[in-house]
Amino acid sequence: MSSIWTPGGEHPLPPRSPDPDDDTGAPAAGTGPGADEIDPEVASQLAAQMAEAQQRILSEPIELLVSNHVMGLYELAAIHLAAEEPDLDAARLPIDAMGLLVENLDERLAERATLTAALQQIRLAYVQVARSQADDGPDLDGDDEDGAGDDGIAGDDGIAGRGGIAGDGGANHT
């Protein structure tokens, strides 16, 4: 069952309509509370809390909010890399997205130096996990002449393959 988080807490959502042609996202008929089942006082409190949360968001500098979302990408990638069985494919997308934002929005982001350092750290962590996995298993990546296989992990020269995540610029950490 899905739920939605609000400043007042988490609230379960009714199941979606089973009709595949219904893309409105409306609850299925007969599920969820009817208009007479919703306590008007609770509904009013939820609406007030939502309005308050929106006002808090509007009062913050947008550069800070976007930077916070960039760090969310960092955390998402870190979760996939630190898992009991790291998922490099799942970690690659948030790392690449973070790179696009940090490297292309330049001075428009808050805490630019912190974001740049975080991007470098998560890229290095990716390379370290990938190398660790490569050391644990057979050599299946078919390294090219440039030192990078099709997985995008750079060799010691820092050149990445098709995956787009470059290494640490040739630093040797072994």
d(CA 33, CA 148): 56
DSSP for residue 30: T
What integer pLDDT is reported at residue 29 of this predicted model?
55
What integer pLDDT is reported at residue 32 of this predicted model?
56
Q: Provide CB contacts within 8 A for 170, sequence distance 6+.
A: 156, 157, 158
The yes-or-no verdict on residue 72 having pLDDT over 80 is: yes
The mean pLDDT of 141-162, rounded to a whole number, is 45
Read off the tokens for 63. 């550069």
At 20, the amino acid letter reads: P
Specify which residues 4 forms β-bridges with: 11
Task: Give residue 46's Cα distance to chain centre.
Answer: 28
* pLDDT, tens only, 16-63: 655 656 665 555 555 555 555 778 888 899 999 999 999 999 999 999
DSSP conformation letters of 138-150: ---S---TTS--T
Single pTM value for the model? 0.56
What integer pLDDT is reported at residue 94 of this predicted model?
97
What integer pLDDT is reported at residue 130 of this predicted model?
95
Q: Please, which pLDDT band fits residue 134 given cuts at 50, 70 and 90?
A: confident
What integer pLDDT is reported at residue 89 of this predicted model?
96
d(CA 158, CA 120): 13
- Apex CA 63: angle with CA 62 and CA 69, to 5°? 90
In this structure, the strands spanning 3-6 and 9-12 are antiparallel
Q: Please, which pLDDT band fits residue 172 given cuts at 50, 70 and 90?
A: very low
The yes-or-no verdict on residue 96 having pLDDT over 90 is: yes
